[in-house]
C-alpha cells in the first residue's frame, strides 16, 4: 500500500482528539480519590485496550513478540517506564493548570524532544531533513508548530494572570501555577520517551508485517510493550498513594468524605477515559504508517492536534471565561498556526 500523508494527517487528528478528550470522562467520576480513578482508567489504557486491539488487528501477536530481538523488545518497555512518569505528571498538570495552559507547556517540550531526538540518534537528521526539499518543508512545519504552541501558552498565561483566585478555582479546583509549571516541564520531557519507545520497536513492525499484518496495524504490537512500561510507573505510584491514603476500599464502595461513590458510573467513566487515552496511540500508529520516509514528523502532527483539540475543550469548560477579546484573538491565532503547520508537514511528507 502506497503511503498517503494526507490520510495520515487525518489519523493524527483523530489521535489528537482522543488525547485531548480522555480527561473529560474523569470529570464525571464522583467520590473516588485521584489514585483510584487514575489506576482504574490506566488498566484499560495500558493493558486491556493494547492487547485487545493488537490481538484483533494483527497476526500471530505472541509469536511476533517472542521472536523480536532483545533490544527491540526491552527498550520500548524501558522508554515506556520513563513515559509513565510523563503520563503521571500529565494528570497532575491538568489538576494544577487546566487543559489549555497545561497542554501547551507539556506538549511544547514533548514536541521538540519527541520529533528531533530519534532522527538525530539514528543519523537521519541531515540526510532526511536538512538535505532535502521535503525535509526542509517538514522543518518549517515543525517550527510553525512550536510557534503555535508558544502563542497558545502566552495566551494561557495572560488569561490566568487576569483571573482572580476564586475564578481560577472555579475552572481548575487545585490551581497552582508554580507547582503546575514545574510538573509540566518534567512531564513534557518524559512524555517524549513514548516516541523513543516506538522508534526502538521498529524491528517488531517488520516482523508483524512478515506475519501478514496489514501496514496500518504493524505498530500495535509495539504499543503493548511501551504501554506496559507505563503501567509499571503508574502502578507503583498509585499503589503508594493507595497505601498512604488507605483508599483501596473505594473500589468496593467505601464511603468518601462526601458519601459513597457511584460504583457503576465511576467504573464506566474510568474505562471510557482509559480506552480514549489508548486511542490516541492507536490512531498515531495508523497515521505514522502513512507518512512515508519522514515518519518521525508524525510526533509533531500528533502534538499539534492535541493542542488544537485541548484548547477547544478549554473553551468548552469555560476556562477562558472572563478574558478579553484580545487574549482570545491571541489563542485563536495560535490555533491557526497549528492548523497551517499540519498542512505544511503533510505537504512535505507527500513530496517525500
| Per-residue pLDDT tens digits for 189-245 | 888 888 889 889 999 999 999 999 998 999 999 999 999 999 999 999 999 999 999
Q: What is the pLDDT of residue 298?
A: 79
Q: What is the pLDDT of residue 47?
A: 95
Burial of 4 (C-beta count, 10 Å sphere; 0-12/13-18/19+): middle
Q: What is the pLDDT of residue 169?
A: 57
Tell me: pLDDT of 260 over 70.
Answer: yes
Dihedral angle computed from the Cα positions of residues 153, 21, 239 and 262, in that order, rounded to the nearest 10 degrees: 130
Do 97 and 171 meet the contact criterion of CB atoms below 8 Å apart? no
Q: What is the pLDDT of residue 259?
A: 77
Q: What is the pLDDT of residue 24?
A: 87
Q: What is the pLDDT of residue 287?
A: 87
Cα-based distances in Å from 75 to 68, 70, 222: 11, 8, 10
Q: What is the pLDDT of residue 68?
A: 95
**pLDDT above 90 coverage of the chain, percent:** 38
Query: What are the phi and psi torsion angles at 67 (to 5°)?
Result: -95, 5
- Specify the number of domains making up the chain: 1
Q: What is the pLDDT of residue 237?
A: 93
The parent domain of residue 306 ranges over 5-351
Tell me: pLDDT of 171 over 60.
Answer: no
What mean pLDDT is reported for the chain? Answer: 84
> pLDDT by residue (tens digit) across 40-84?
999 999 999 999 999 999 999 999 999 999 999 999 999 999 988
Tell me: pLDDT of 337 over 60.
Answer: yes
> pLDDT by residue (tens digit) across 12-44?
889 989 988 888 899 899 999 989 999 999 999
* 228 against 172, higher pLDDT: 228
Region of residue 31 (phi > 0: left; psi between -120 and 50: alpha; otherwise: beta): left
Region of residue 197 (phi > 0: left; psi between -120 and 50: alpha; otherwise: beta): alpha
For range 306-319, the mean pLDDT: 81
- For the chain, the distance separating the N- and C-terminal CA atoms, rounded to the nearest angstrom, is 16
Amino acid at each position: 500500500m502506497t503511503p498517503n500523508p494526507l490520510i495520515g494527517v487525518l489519523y493524527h487528528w483523530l489521535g489528537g482528539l482522543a488525547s485531548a478528550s480522555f480527561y473529560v470522562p474523569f470529570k464525571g467520576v464522583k467520590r473516588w480519590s485521584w489514585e483510584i480513578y487514575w489506576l482504574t482508567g490506566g488498566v484499560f489504557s495500558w493493558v486491556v485496550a493494547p492487547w485487545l486491539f493488537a490481538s484483533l488487528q494483527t497476526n500471530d501477536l505472541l509469536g511476533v513478540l517472542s521472536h523480536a530481538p532483545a533490544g527491540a523488545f526491552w527498550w520500548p518497555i524501558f522508554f515506556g517506564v520513563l513515559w509513565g512518569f510523563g503520563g503521571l505528571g500529565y494528570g497532575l498538570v491538568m489538576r494544577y493548570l487546566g487543559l489549555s495552559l497545561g497542554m501547551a507547556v507539556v506538549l511544547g517540550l514533548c514536541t521538540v524532544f519527541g520529533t528531533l531526538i530519534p532522527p538525530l540518534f539514528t543519523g537521519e537528521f541531515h540526510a532526511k531533513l536538512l538535505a532535502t526539499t521535503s525535509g526542509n518543508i517538514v522543518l518549517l512545519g515543525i517550527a510553525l508548530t512550536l510557534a503555535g504552541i508558544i502563542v497558545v501558552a502566552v495566551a494561557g498565561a495572560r488569561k490566568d494572570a487576569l483571573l482572580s483566585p476564586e475564578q481560577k478555582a472555579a475552572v481548575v479546583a487545585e490551581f497552582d501555577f508554580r507547582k503546575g509549571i514545574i510538573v509540566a516541564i518534567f512531564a513534557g520531557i518524559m512524555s517524549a520517551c513514548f516516541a523513543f519507545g516506538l522508534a526502538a520497536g521498529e524491528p517488531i513492525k517488520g516482523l508483524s508485517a512478515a506475519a501478514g499484518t496489514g501496514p496500518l496495524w504493524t505498530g500495535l504490537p509495539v504499543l503493548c510493550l511501551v504501554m506496559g512500561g507505563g503501567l509499571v510507573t503508574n502502578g507503583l505510584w498509585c499503589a503508594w498513594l493507595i497505601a498512604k491514603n488507605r483508599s483501596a476500599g473505594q473500589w468496593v464502595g467505601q464511603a468518601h468524605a462526601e458519601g459513597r461513590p457511584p460504583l457503576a458510573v465511576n467504573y464506566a467513566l474510568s474505562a471510557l477515559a482509559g480506552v480514549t487515552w489508548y486511542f490516541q496511540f492507536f490512531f498515531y500508529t495508523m497515521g505514522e504508517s502513512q507518512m512515508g520516509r519522514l515518519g518521525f514528523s508524525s510526533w509533531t502532527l500528533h502534538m499539534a492536534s492535541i493542542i488544537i483539540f485541548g484548547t477547544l475543550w478549554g473553551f468548552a469548560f469555560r476556562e477562558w471565561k472572563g478574558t478579553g477579546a484580545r487574549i482570545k484573538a491571541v489563542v485563536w491565532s495560535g490555533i491557526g498556526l497549528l492548523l497551517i503547520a499540519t498542512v505544511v508537514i503533510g505537504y512535505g511528507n507527500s513530496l517525500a
